[in-house]
Amino acid sequence: MSETSTLIGYQGRTISREELALVPTPSATNTHRPVPHHEVIGALIETLGFRHIGVVHDEYAVSPDGMKMFGALDLATEMNGCRFSIGVRNSHDKTMRLAMTVGYRVFVCSNMAFSGDFTLGTMSPMIGSETRTLSSVGNRRTTGMFVGPISIP
């Protein structure tokens, strides 16, 4: 467990980014196209990299059926001994929207608890769209920087 983020998974179990890539994604329907959990995380990490922000620790929790994902990422950016973190959640079964929170301390739990210093707006899938964008992964007041939009193919 990290000093700046807390992730409480199903039955206390968390998984790595490599294990997250093994979670199956349901097939798309006419009204819903699930984005694989690992692609959401990959796009987030890639976008952070464009701003020269690395991830020093990350962990994830997935529901037993693989439909819900929760994650906490500790960032390499520090200030006065404090490290910033990002909390993220996503679902394939439409029970919750893709959402992120950022701050000096984030809390993400599989019971839907989700908090940080700044919680970004949520996003739902857009039918027929090849690109989904989640803007403002960051907060000038909290981190002193801005991380641009994330494009998920």
Ranges 33-42, 74-83, 104-113, 137-146, most confident: 33-42
Number of alpha helices (DSSP H) and beta strands (DSSP E) in the chain: 3, 10
Q: Note the pLDDT tens digit of each residue in 54-93.
A: 999 999 999 999 999 999 999 987 777 778 889 999 999 9
What does the pLDDT read at residue 138? Answer: 37
Query: 0.85 cut: is pTM over it?
Result: no
Q: Note the pLDDT tens digit of each residue in 125-151.
A: 443 333 334 433 433 333 444 344 444
Q: What is the DSSP letter of 11?
A: G
When pLDDT is cut at 50, 70 and 90, the band that residue 1 belongs to is: low
Q: Are 101 and 86 in contact (CB under 8 A)?
A: yes
Residue with tokens 């707006």: 121
